[in-house]
Amino acid sequence: MQVWPGQAYPLGATYDGAGTNFAVFSEAAERVELCLLHDDGSEAAVELRESDAFVRHAYLPGIMPGQRYGFRVHGPYAPDQGHRCNSAKLLLDPYARAVSGRIDWGEEVYGYHFDQPDERNDLDSAPHMMTSVVVNPYFDWGDDRPPRTPYHETVLYEAHVKGLTMLHPDLPEELRGSYAALGHPAIIEHLTALGVTALELMPVHQFVNDHRLVDMGLNNYWGYNTIGFFAPHNAYASWGDRGEQVLEFKQAVKALHEANIEVILDVVYNHTAEGNHLGPTLSYKGLDNASYYRLTDDSRYYMDTTGTGNSLLMRSPHVLQMIMDSLRHWVTDMHVDGFRFDLAATLARQFHEVDRLSSFFDLVQQDPVVSQVKLIAEPWDVGEGGYQVGNFPPLWTEWNGMYRDTVRDLWRGEQRTLAEFASRLTGSSDLYQDDGRRPLASINFTTCHDGFTLHDLVSYNEKRNEANGENNRDGESHNRSWNCGTEGETDDPDILELRARQMRNFTATLMLSQGVPMLSHGDEFARTQGGNNNAYCQDNELAWVRWPDGENSLLAFTRTMAMLRRDHPVFRRRRFFHGRPVQGTHDELSDIAWFTPEGDEMEQPDWDASQARALSVFLNGNAISEPGQRGERISDDSFLLMFNASPEPIEFVVPVNHGRQWQLVIDTAHEDGVPPEPGPKVRAGDRLTLADRSLTVLQRPA
């Protein structure tokens, strides 16, 4: 076999049409072998003799796409000093563009013996390991262009590749659960009709099914257990795993872009699947443990701010390079449009404190590629001081956990929620205005993959996680949910009607709020997980989306609300409300006004009243201060939003001096949420009785 010196950059396996360049970083290694794997189980080892700045490299002519490979690292095995090199362990390439196979769990893939954890384990892991794959980078993107939908026009839809598509009746069975299914017309048509502009995919980086879960007969369904930051997860390919998964993912992105739908990836750069000191040796741990992970003062153990056993070392230049290289790869080579960063507070931890000016955020800010896509933070982790909602840099948007909690509290009838609800409804200026951000920094959601579905939020007070095998100890116990009077499923028509109304309330509130709305897959037609609020290991029909037969009233209502938001810029302002008339608009009314149900403007005692659960909000469509795309002044219809979250019907007075005549366009107390067209006319001073726990929207033409 010919072996040429090759290049130290780029890292990973780079095919150029005639051969492949291999490059891998390890400062701890004394010697690194590249192992080319054959289908008969044999391997050919090539020592990487060239080294530049601790990057070992070589170029092998004739090595083609589809070639499986791994690394063996010869070096110190001294866990108490932070070193875990072991040449008996075949290691995945951290920069692998594709991964083949799965892990056959056994003692062989661990660096120690189960009965003697201090003794090095020299059992060969190769027959039990996943392997890296050389990939052909070429793909005919044609005239593919990123949609670049501005945030104020964005509607996010969080979905799981397999969960969304596995049970869809209009998908060919061989495509279900795959990347190809995402690009199928049946899925795209559903998303388009729902007004979705961005598909936020739960993890598609190559991940690992945990040893513990496999032994229990379960799987890591959610995928927050990454082992390869450059490779699409191979189990989501409809055929093959020798690079076919890369091709199929790109085809799905191309099809979604043709429908003007962006693709955003949920990424997990805070930890890896190698776990703590008792975890397996799969890649980073065997390459250079101390360079990749945050270790304690006793270097045998790992700092863990993620609850998964380890945390990546964010002050390591090699970790930072790997993350930035990964992000650029997914944007430039895979054409994705943005990222949602899991447990993003961990990315800010250079030492112990959460520092929003850490190196990672500096690198993102100055990067000409990554800084131009959508960047969404899950702004918390499990470490001390980890809840950082509102504290990320101006370039970032955030999952607004305070929005979720406040909206849930309002509709379940908690006291003293009106003041905070007003802030959340109008874009959370208390969180984002001080650092120059706008309402669009707030990603609003009431449900997501983690927690109850929308149906279960109004059907269960207590979680039902027994299927997870942890005696119902896992998952959040404080869900801010309300079962409407009966726990779990019921045939009581009154309870069912109330639950349907509550789901309409949550959906309408989400679409009427300033900021960026995010739907969780299947909530648009009330999918259930039977009360399981932590279905991370349920790769089965419990967690998969069960598509309804025929028309679904909640689905129709969700579409209506999405279209109302799309058609009216007053619901998706790019700037915060002023609370006063806007200069240059020739309108003496304030851009927003708040009223009691009696039609009087809200005073401080009204906000502070413990029993107050109702109010009206006037949104002035003639007082939108920001200019349009061509510099013209934006104007819109005006709206009056009436919220009654109390357990009794309340009579509302339509405020005077804010419009003579209105038309009722939304009423969540109605069976369909929408009154028969045309909706009844309402005049200033008229009285409307809102049903208990309902929401009404009145519209006044500009």
Residue type, 551: E
Report residue 353 CA to chain centroid gap: 24
Catalytic residue of the set 210, 244, 342, 637: 342
Q: Cα(659)–Cα(600) distance, rounded to whole angstroms?
A: 15
Half-sphere exposure of residue 687: CA atoms within 13 angstroms, side-chain side? 5
Q: Cα(454)–Cα(110) distance, rounded to whole angstroms?
A: 41
Q: Cα(331)–Cα(230) distance, rounded to whole angstroms?
A: 11
Q: Cα(383)–Cα(178) distance, rounded to whole angstroms?
A: 35
Q: Cα(449)–Cα(472) distance, rounded to whole angstroms?
A: 18
Pairing of strands 112-113, 374-377: unpaired
Q: Cα(27)–Cα(206) distance, rounded to whole angstroms?
A: 25
Other beta carbons within 10 Å of 74: 13
Note the maximum CA span of the chain: 89
Produce one character per residue of 182-192: b if its CB has 16 or more CB atoms within 10 Å, e if not.
Answer: bbbeebbebbe
Q: Which residue has the tokens 């000093």?
A: 81
Q: Cα(590)–Cα(622) distance, rounded to whole angstroms?
A: 10
Q: Cα(197)–Cα(464) distance, rounded to whole angstroms?
A: 33
Cα–Cα separations (whole angstroms), residue 522 to 183, 564, 609 = 18, 20, 37
342 among known catalytic residues = yes
Is-contact 216 105, C-beta < 8 A?
no
**In a 10 Å sphere around its CB, with 0-12 CB exposed, 13-18 middle and 19+ buried, how is residue 404 labelled?**
buried
Q: Quickly list DSSP for 396-433.
A: -EEE-HHHHHHHHHHHHT-SS-HHHHHHHHTT-HHHHT
- DSSP state, 336? -
Pairing of strands 77-78, 112-113: unpaired
Q: What is the signed CA dihedral for 159, 222, 543, 261, rounded to 10 degrees?
A: 10
378 among known catalytic residues = yes
With CA atoms as reference, report the closest residue to 265 among 340, 167, 316, 212: 340
Other beta carbons within 10 Å of 369: 12
Catalytic residue of the set 108, 262, 378, 523: 378
Q: Which residue has the tokens 């699947």?
A: 273
Q: What is the signed CA dihedral for 507, 510, 513, 517, rounded to 10 degrees?
A: -130
Q: Which residue has the tokens 């029993």?
A: 611
Q: Cα(24)–Cα(402) distance, rounded to whole angstroms?
A: 43
Question: Would you mind telling me the total number of residues written for the chain in this entry?
Answer: 702
Q: Which residues are catalytic?
A: 342, 378
